[in-house]
Amino acid sequence: MSDNATSPAVTVVAKTEAPIRTFTFRFSGDGGEFFKIWIVNLLLTVVTLGIYSAWATVRTSQYFYGHTKLDETGFQYLANPLSILIGRVIAVAIFGLVMLAASFQPMLYGVLMVLAIPAVPWLMVRAMRFNLRNTAYRNVRFDFVGTYGEAAKVFLLYYLGVILSLGLAGPWWLLQTKKFFINNVRYGDHAFDCSCPTKEFYILALITLGAIIPVLLVTVLLGWIPVIGQIVIFLAYLSIFALWQSWVRNMLFNHTRLAGDVQLSSNVTMFDLAMLYAMNALLVVVTLGIALPWVMVRTAKFYAERTAVQAANLDRFTASQNQVAGSAIGDEVAGVFALEVGI
Amino acid sequence: MIQGYYFPHGSSRRLLASITVDDRGFLRLHDEQGALLADGRWQQLQISPRLGSTPRFLDFADGSRFETSDNDAVDGLQQCWRQERGYHLLHRLESHWRLALASVVVVAVVSWWFLTIALPYAASQVAFVLPASALDRSAELSLSVMERIALKPSTLDEARQQQLQGLLVRLLPQSPAYNYRLLLRDGGAFGANAFALPDGTIVMTDQLVALADDDRQLSAVLAHEIGHVEARHSLRQVLQGSVIMVIAAVMAGDATAFGDLVGGVPTAVMDASYSRDFEREADRYALTLLASQGVDSEHFAVLLERLAASHDQADDTDVNYFSSHPPTAERVAAARAF
Ligand SMILES: [Zn+2]
């Protein structure tokens, strides 16, 4: 929790003269309902040889956005399936050609991979922009204003620094990437601002490294036991992953504000997150993937319940610029190359 | 009357509001106090499609928006004033359990058909359209990588090497379409092994030669490797693998939460399954070729058993014999039954 949330009277109320309220996110979707949408998506995608997949993506996103509610109003996903389809066709063509080049002309493949490096920041910026411009809440669109230059600086130049420092700059760099993504998000005319101190990322990195030691010990001691040993090891690594993920999420949210005084907050605990991952993995494996829709819904519920916004009211955000949607090409190419663009 | 929220253009301001539509399709939007906020024709609204119980968004021409969870009321008015058959049908599809369960079966059957029949068939058709030299570059590269990491010059004497070269020549067709050549090498970490590169290069290790007590067993191995080359298995594997990878990548990009889980496992499973099919095909080719030269299929069976035994002794990894193979017992049984 930030200082601000615990003593709002000093900083915020003076300006707005209204009491600060906590608005908690709520996910109102239902696993069974989404299963039917999901399976029809799959069916039509298979029957149309993949063409419907663009519509499937849009319907899935609309379902999850629409059911994600803040103060009883849903979010909106506005992307046009047709532009996603075009982007996807291009991405599949490029990806397929690169795959074939890897087999037929290994040298050319190497050259392509080197040429692809400067394209990575571009893909990330485009993907963020496409997704955010197609997201709205209360009739106000989000946007992403990060530039290629900034992205190249953070992901290429700074990354070089990480290598030169033999990884010591790693936590600092990670925070820079997160800040690049958060601080360039706009909601209407308003900016998000993440003020997470670098120190906290280093503390987290040390704690995570410290936690890996007992896990390695467990691996050595129990690794030989056939089934139980493997399950214990899986859970141990899962816990480390959950520790890192939950902590990073909480830290970033709790240090992020919108428009200067709207405080975001997240309280995901490591144990809850590890349980979520473990249950999800179990459900998907046991049902051979049929439970995926339920898994997606319970994951959305999980995060929604643990995310909140503290503000006097949500009525005051303006959107004066004319906002236009970006092209899908960057987004889809980025998606196909499986670049995780997550905050 | 439809209850919901009204969002005027240009800000996040939200007002409780309701819409009424008269019998000529003209709508009025009032706030709680009954003040008129917007009006117009229902047909001119942009309405988000029905999607389960997600809220509907009704967009006015001036950029303002109305949100409601009263899906049935919106659908009723839509049917009255505007026919949007596509999305209406989609919603009907998406709201039936029996249909959903039938879809599971259809998806499973079609996917199975595509992966096991359609894709291998298409790949084999394409593979024989492409020039035979398509994979020459990568054959050179994989050979040079293997020479660097494991293979060493053969320790067999010149006379023995000539004998083995003779084995290959006797098996080849009249005018071979590939530049067949046999390379004898000390296998190093590969142990007793043989593999074919797509350009017709067949590599056999000293350890494999030592394993055989009859040259007809080695002929059987060479026939199997020729089978891989003639059927263009490497090329087909590349084509099939690329399609699987692309599908997996699109799926991964789609299923945000579980991308890696969804993408990675099936790719590996399908690759292994395809290479098992290719092994069976190469075995059949070898047995036919051997039979045409009067070599008993028992020699093939014996060598397979010896190979399996030698690899069990060395270590337990299955990757030694180039790639994923069907169980030895099955292959031996097939050879003996031939
Ligand atoms: Zn083989």
Q: Each residue of A136-164: pLDDT tens digit?
A: 999 999 988 999 899 999 988 999 999 99
Least confident of A58-67, A199-208, B129-138, B152-161: B129-138
The reply to whether residue B64 touches residue A316, judged by beta carbons under 8 angstroms, is no
- Helices of type H across chain A: 3-6, 8, 14-16, 31-47, 53-67, 81-104, 106-116, 119-133, 148-152, 158-164, 170-183, 198-222, 227-254, 270-286, 292-305, 329-336
For B110, which residue in chain A has the nearest alpha carbon? Answer: A46
**For a pLDDT cut of 90, what percent of chain A falls above it?**
46
**Helices B85-93 + B71-81 axis angle, to 10:** 140
CA distance A171 to chain B (A): 24
Higher pLDDT, B57 or A313: B57
Residue A39 with chain B: CB contacts under 8 Å: 100, 103-104, 107
Q: State in Å: Cα B194 to ligand 1 middle.
A: 8
**B266: CA distance to ligand 1 center in Å?**
22
The count of other CB atoms within 10 Å of the CB of residue A261 is 17
What is the pairing mode between strands A190-194 and B65-68?
A: unpaired
Triad A112, A115, A120: Cα angle to 5°? 110
Phi, psi of A214 (to 5 degrees): -60, -30
Q: How confident is the model at residue A342, as a pLDDT?
A: 31
pLDDT of A5 over the 60 cut: no
CB contact under 8 A, A296 and B10: no
pLDDT band at A339 (very low <50, low <70, confident <90, very high): very low
Q: pLDDT at position A53, please?
A: 86
Per-residue pLDDT tens digits for B76-100: 888 888 767 778 888 888 888 998 8
A53, A104, A336 ranked by CB distance to B137: nearest: A104
**What's the complex ipTM?**
0.82
DSSP code, position B17: E
- Which residues, at least 6 apart from B237, have a Cβ–Cβ distance to it below 8 Å? B271, B274, B275, B278
Cβ(B45)–Cβ(B60) below 8 Å: yes
**How far is B102 from B143, CA to CA, in rounded Å?**
49
Secondary structure of residue B26 in the 3-state scheme = strand
Distance CA B48, CA B59 (A): 8
B320: CA distance to ligand 1 center in Å? 11
pLDDT at A85 (0 to 100): 82
The alpha carbon of residue A165 is apart from the nearest alpha carbon of chain B, in Å, by 30
Q: For residue B337, how many other CB atoms are within 10 A of its CB?
A: 9
Q: What is the pLDDT along chain B (338 residues), one digit of tens a residue?
A: 899 999 999 889 999 999 999 988 899 999 999 999 999 999 889 999 999 999 999 999 888 999 999 999 998 888 888 767 778 888 888 888 998 899 999 998 998 899 899 999 999 999 999 887 878 888 888 888 888 888 889 999 999 999 999 999 999 988 888 889 999 999 888 888 898 998 899 999 999 999 889 999 999 999 999 999 999 998 898 889 888 877 777 766 554 434 444 455 667 777 788 888 899 999 999 999 999 998 999 999 999 988 888 876 544 444 333 346 777 888 888 888 88
pLDDT at B111: 87
CA angle A203, A209, A211 (to 5 degrees): 105
DSSP string, A170-198: HHHHHHHHHHHHHHTEEETTEEEEE---H
- Domain spans of chain B, in order of start: 2-93, 129-337
Q: Do B52 and A33 touch (CB under 8 A)?
A: yes
B109 in contact with chain A, both atoms CB, cutoff 8 A: no
Sign of CA dihedral B78, B79, B80, B83: positive
Distance CA(A215)–CA(A244), nearest Å, equals: 14
Q: How many alpha carbons lie under 13 Å from residue B236 in its C-beta half-sphere?
A: 22
pLDDT per residue over A262-293, tens digit each?
A: 999 999 999 999 999 889 888 988 888 889 89
Burial A241-253 (b: 16+ CB within 10 A, else e): ebbbbbbbbbbbb
Specify burial of residue B57 (Cβ count, 10 A radius: 0-12, 13-18, 19+).
buried
CA distance A251 to chain B (A): 21
Q: Measured between alpha carbons, how far is residue A318 from residues A315, B58, B240 in Å?
A: 9, 20, 52
> Is B255's CB within 8 Å of A289's CB?
no
Indicate the fold that domain B2-93 takes in CATH: PH-domain like (2.30.29)
User: What is the token pair recorded at B337?
Assistant: 């039954």
Tokens of B134: 């398509």
User: Is B242 in Cβ contact with A284 (below 8 Å)?
Assistant: no
Which one has a higher pLDDT value, A17 or A292?
A292
- Asked if B259 and A338 come within 8 Å (Cβ–Cβ), the reply is yes
Q: Which residue from B54, B29, B32, B33 is spatially nearest to B42, judged by alpha carbons?
A: B29
Return the bridge partners of A191, or none: A186
Burial of A318 from C-beta contacts in 10 A (0-12 / 13-18 / 19+): middle
Cα separation, B71 vs A240, in Å, equals 44
| Weakest-pLDDT range from A8-12, A223-227, B270-274 | A8-12
CA of B280 to the centre of ligand 1 (A): 8
Q: How many whole angstroms from B223 Cα to the centroid of ligand 1?
A: 10
Residues A26/A54, Cβ–Cβ less than 8 Å: no
Residues with CB under 5 A from ligand 1 (ion): B 279, 282
Confidence band (pLDDT; 50, 70, 90) for A303? very high
The residue of chain B with its CA nearest to that of A46 is B107
State the angle between helix axes of A106-116 and A119-133 in degrees (0 to 180), rounded to the nearest 10.
60
* Confidence grade of residue A11 (pLDDT, cut at 50, 70, 90): very low
Say which residues have a Cβ less than 8 Å from residue B14's Cβ, sequence separation at least 6.
A73, A138, A314, A315, B5, B6, B7
Measured CA to CA, the distance from residue B67 to residue B55 in angstroms comes to: 7
Q: Report how far ligand 1's centroid is from the alpha carbon of A228 (Å).
A: 36
What gap in Å lies between CA A98 and CA A23, rounded to an integer?
47
Quick one: pLDDT at residue A331?
57
**pLDDT at residue A187, as a whole number:** 94
Taking the CA of residue A58 and the nearest CA in chain B, the distance in Å comes to 10
**How close is the Cα of B307 to the center of ligand 1, in Å?**
12
B contact residues 33-52, partner A, Cβ 8 Å cutoff: 48, 51-52
Cβ–Cβ gap A103/B14 under 8 Å: no
Of A331, A334, A333, nearest in space to A132 by CA? A331
What whole-number distance in Å separates Cα of residue B203 and Cα of residue B222? 9
B13 three-class SS: coil
Ligand 1 centroid–CA B228 distance in Å is: 7
Distance CA A277, CA A273 (A): 6
- Are the Cβ atoms of B141 and A106 closer than 8 angstroms? yes
Residue among A36, A95, A319 minimizing CB distance to B11:
A319
CB B39 within 8 Å of CB B27: yes
pLDDT given for residue A68 in this prediction: 96
Confidence check: pLDDT of A309 > 90? yes
Contacts of A74 in chain B (CB under 8 A): 54-55, 67
Measure Cα distances from B3 to A222, B29, B56, B70 in Å.
60, 10, 11, 7
Task: Answer for the pair A18, A30: CB distance below 8 angstroms, yes or no.
Answer: no
C-alpha B122/C-alpha B145 separation (Å) is 31
Q: How does pLDDT run across A93-126, given as a tens digit for each residue?
A: 877 787 778 777 778 888 888 887 887 788 788 8
B92: chain A residues, CB-CB within 8 Å = none
Ligand 1 centroid distance, CA of B326 (Å): 10
Query: Looking at chain B, how many residues does it have?
Result: 338
Q: How far is B275 from chain A (nearest CA, A)?
A: 16
